[in-house]
Amino acid sequence: MNFFIAPVEFSNVSVLHSIVKNISGIFKDKVSVISLPVNTAAAFSRDRGQYFSTQLIADAIKLTSKYDGKVLMLVEFDLFVPVFTYVFGEAQLNGKHSIVSVCRLHEEFYSGKTNDKLFIDRTIKEILHELGHNMGLIHCRSWDCVMHSSQGVEEIDIKGQFYCPDCMEILSDNGFKDSFAAHPAD
Structure confidence by residue, pLDDT tens digits, 153-172 = 999 999 999 999 999 999 99
Quick check: pTM over 0.85?
yes
Residue 184 binned pLDDT confidence (cut-offs 50, 70, 90):
low
CATH numbers and ranges of domains, the chain: 2-179 (3.40.390.10)
Residue 185: its pLDDT value, please? 54
The phi-psi region of residue 136 (left if phi > 0; otherwise alpha if psi is between -120 and 50; otherwise beta) is left
The phi-psi region of residue 94 (left if phi > 0; otherwise alpha if psi is between -120 and 50; otherwise beta) is left
Residue 183 binned pLDDT confidence (cut-offs 50, 70, 90):
low
Is the pLDDT at 41 greater than 90? The verdict is yes
On whether the CB atoms of residues 65 and 4 are closer than 8 A, the answer is no
130, 154, 155, 169: the active-site residue: 130
Tell me whether residue 9 is one of the annotated catalytic residues.
no
Reported as type and span, the H/E element at residue 2 is strand 2-8
